[in-house]
Structure 1
Amino acid sequence: MYTRIVSAMALALASAHSVHAAEVELTLSHWVPGTHPLQVLGMEPWAESIKEASNGRIEITIYPAMQLGAAADHYDMARDGVVDIGFINPGYQPGRFPILAAAELPFLFANAKAGVAALTEWYKPYSEKEMADTYFCMALSHDPGTFHSTSQILVPEDVKGKNVRPANATEARFVNLLGGASVQVSAAESREVLAKGAAEMTQSPWESLYIFGVDSIVTHHLDMPLYASINAFIFNKGKLDGMSPEDRKVIEDHCTPEWAEKMSSGWADAEAKGREKIAADPKHTMHKPDEAQVQLWKDAAAPLTDEWKATISKTGADPEPMLEGLITALKERNSYAGE
Structure 2
Amino acid sequence: MLKNSHRYMGFAALVAGALVLTGCTAEGGQAAGDEPITLSYAFFAPAASFPAVQMEEWANQISERTDGQVEVELFVGGTLLSSGDIFDGVTEGVVDIGMDSPAYDTGRFPFSSVMNVPIGMDSAETSSRTFLSLLEEYEPEEFDGYEIITAFTTEASYLQTKTPIQSEADIAGMSLRAAGANVPVLEELRAAPIGMSMAEVSEALNTGVIQGYMSSREVMKDFGLAESIRSVTNYPFGTSNSFVAVMDKARYDALPESVKTVIAELREEMMLFASQGHDESIQAAIDFAKDEHGVEIVEVEEAARAKWDKILNGQADQWVKTNGDSYFDAEGVLARMRELAAENAAR
Normalising by the residue count of structure 2, what TM-score does the alignment of the two structures yield? 0.86
Which of 168, 173, 189 is residue 184 of structure 2 equivalent to? Answer: 173
Give the SS at the match of 1:106: coil
Amino acid across the alignment from 1:38: P
Give the SS at the match of 1:314: coil
Give the conservation status (yes or no) of the 8 Å contact 2:221–2:288.
no
Matched, 1:24 2:26: no
Report which structure shows greater RCO (CA 8 Å, sep ≥6). 1
CA distance in 2, matches of 1:5, 1:226: 38
Matched, 1:319 2:321: no
| Superimposed CA distance per residue, residues 303-338 of structure 1 (whole angstroms, 9 cap, x where no aligned partner) | 3222210122112643222111111111111179xx
Give the conservation status (yes or no) of the 8 Å contact 2:127–2:155.
no
- Matched positions, count: 332
Which of 87, 105, 109 is residue 93 of structure 1 equivalent to? Answer: 105
| Superimposed CA distance per residue, residues 25-69 of structure 1 (whole angstroms, 9 cap, x where no aligned partner) | 2111001112333333x2212221112222222221110010111
Give the conservation status (yes or no) of the 8 Å contact 1:107–1:298.
no
| Superimposed CA distance per residue, residues 65-99 of structure 1 (whole angstroms, 9 cap, x where no aligned partner) | 10111112112112222211111101111311111
CA distance in 2, matches of 1:333, 1:81: 36
Q: CA RMSD in A?
A: 2.7
Change (3 A) 1:316 1:112: closer
CA distance in 2, matches of 1:271, 1:202: 17
Change (3 A) 1:184 1:156: same
Correspondence for 2:309: 298
| Superimposed CA distance per residue, residues 182-212 of structure 1 (whole angstroms, 9 cap, x where no aligned partner) | 2211111101111111111212222312332
CA distance in 2, matches of 1:293, 1:113: 29
Correspondence for 2:131: 119
Correspondence for 1:199: 210
Correspondence for 1:9: 11
Give the alignment of 1:133-148 within 5 angstroms.
133-148=145-160
Give the SS at the match of 1:203: strand
CA distance in 2, matches of 1:144, 1:24: 38
Correspondence for 2:273: 262
CA distance in 2, matches of 1:6, 1:186: 21
CA distance in 1, matches of 2:302, 2:14: 53
Which of 37, 55, 74 is residue 50 of structure 2 equivalent to? Answer: 37
CA distance in 2, matches of 1:135, 1:324: 25
Change (3 A) 1:216 1:335: farther
Change (3 A) 1:5 1:316: closer
Give the conservation status (yes or no) of the 8 Å contact 1:157–1:178.
no
Which of 149, 160, 170 is residue 161 of structure 2 equivalent to? Answer: 149
Give the alignment of 1:66-105 within 5 angstroms.
66-105=78-117
Once the two structures are aligned, what percentage of the paired residues are identical? 21
CA distance in 1, matches of 2:211, 2:329: 38
Change (3 A) 1:266 1:11: farther
Amino acid across the alignment from 2:311: A
| Long gaps (5+) in structure 1 | none
| Long gaps (5+) in structure 2 | 24-34
CA distance in 2, matches of 1:316, 1:55: 42
Correspondence for 2:220: 209
Give the SS at the match of 2:84: helix
Correspondence for 1:285: 296
Per-residue deviation, 1:280: 4.1
Per-residue deviation, 1:277: 2.6
CA distance in 2, matches of 1:192, 1:180: 20
Give the conservation status (yes or no) of the 8 Å contact 1:164–1:200.
yes
Normalising by the residue count of structure 1, what TM-score does the alignment of the two structures yield? 0.88
CA distance in 2, matches of 1:52, 1:59: 9
Change (3 A) 1:96 1:156: farther
Give the conservation status (yes or no) of the 8 Å contact 1:113–1:262.
no
Amino acid across the alignment from 2:81: G
CA distance in 1, matches of 2:133, 2:93: 26
Change (3 A) 1:125 1:203: same
Change (3 A) 1:155 1:98: farther
